[in-house]
Amino acid sequence: MFKLFKKKSTGLRIGDTAPDFKAETTDGTIKFHDWIGDSYAMLFSHPKDFTPVCSTELSRTAALKPEFDKRNTKVMGLSVDSVGDHAMWENDIGDVAKHFNGAPLNFPLIADNDKKVAELYGMIHPGELDNLTIRSVFIIGPDKKIKLIMTYPASTGRNFLEILRALDSIQLTAKHKVATPVDWKHGDDCIIVPALSDDEAKGLFPDGWNAVKSYLRLVPDPSKNK
């Protein structure tokens, strides 16, 4: 006899509304949804201030901040450290920058000492790092919905160029009826979404497409003409 257990979901998923919160940051108190405003946002956590991989990640993200700005995307870091620790660590991030194509810190960090935000976003994984936040990334849209979630182990530094690439895809596919193939980058050919019939596609893509398969129809990146 089988017993059916309904597993209760604890995690946030793509499409969920990003939980709102009030928090202390290195730029003062913020209310998260108000801070996002009409922009996209990247909320990302690191395990601990004054640790090596985290220092490289934050300096690299600082160097890429102009790229996030170009994409109308605000950047906010988070760990369970205090504002005072964040402020002291900032000098080290500047020192590390020259070794990792980075830059001095130029975006706010949440001081989540009480783990309120970390718990709200499921950033604490006791099996991976006891009571510290692991390397989580949430991309959130102006509609406050979660568009992307990434989780990396503490031992693996993230590639923030990949996050920018995904952001380009997310923003493009929000505007056009396309999806982006493997390894796609801005300007490469895109795929007409399978939900569009050929007849419907003719209206949106009057110059036609290259049908690699009947369901894999390639068109130039529609944002290139804008």
Enumerate binding residues for ligand BEZ (CB under 6 A). 47-48, 51-54, 154-155
Q: In what order do the strands lie in the sheet with 210-213?
A: 178-179, 190-192, 216-219, 210-213
Q: How far is the CB of 151 from ligand BEZ (least distance, A)?
A: 14
Integer Cα distance of 126 and 128 in angstroms: 5
* Per-residue CA distances from 13 to 41, 98, 132, 140, 159 (Å): 16, 36, 21, 11, 21
Q: How far is the CB of 186 from ligand BEZ (least distance, A)?
A: 30
**Reduced to 3 states, what is the DSSP secondary structure of residue 141?**
coil
**54/167 with CB nearer ligand BEZ:** 54
**48/71 with CB nearer ligand BEZ:** 48
In the set 18, 36, 41, 54, the catalytic residue is 54
Counting Cα atoms < 13 Å in the Cβ hemisphere of 217 gives 20
Q: How far is the CB of 202 from ligand BEZ (least distance, A)?
A: 52
**131/155 with CB nearer ligand BEZ:** 155
**157/220 with CB nearer ligand BEZ:** 157
* Per-residue CA distances from 128 to 2, 133, 202 (Å): 32, 9, 50
Instruction: Give me the phi and psi of 21, to 5 degrees please.
Output: -160, 165
Q: How far is the CB of 50 from ligand BEZ (least distance, A)?
A: 9
**53/63 with CB nearer ligand BEZ:** 53
Please provide the distance, in angstroms rounded to a whole number, between the alpha carbons at the two ends of the chain. 62
Q: Would residue 54 show up in a list of annotated catalytic residues for this protein?
A: yes
Integer Cα distance of 49 and 53 in angstroms: 10
Paired with 41 in beta bridges are 74, 140
Q: How far is the CB of 153 from ligand BEZ (least distance, A)?
A: 9
Report residue 64 as tokens: 């890429």
Would you name the residues annotated as active-site residues?
A: 54
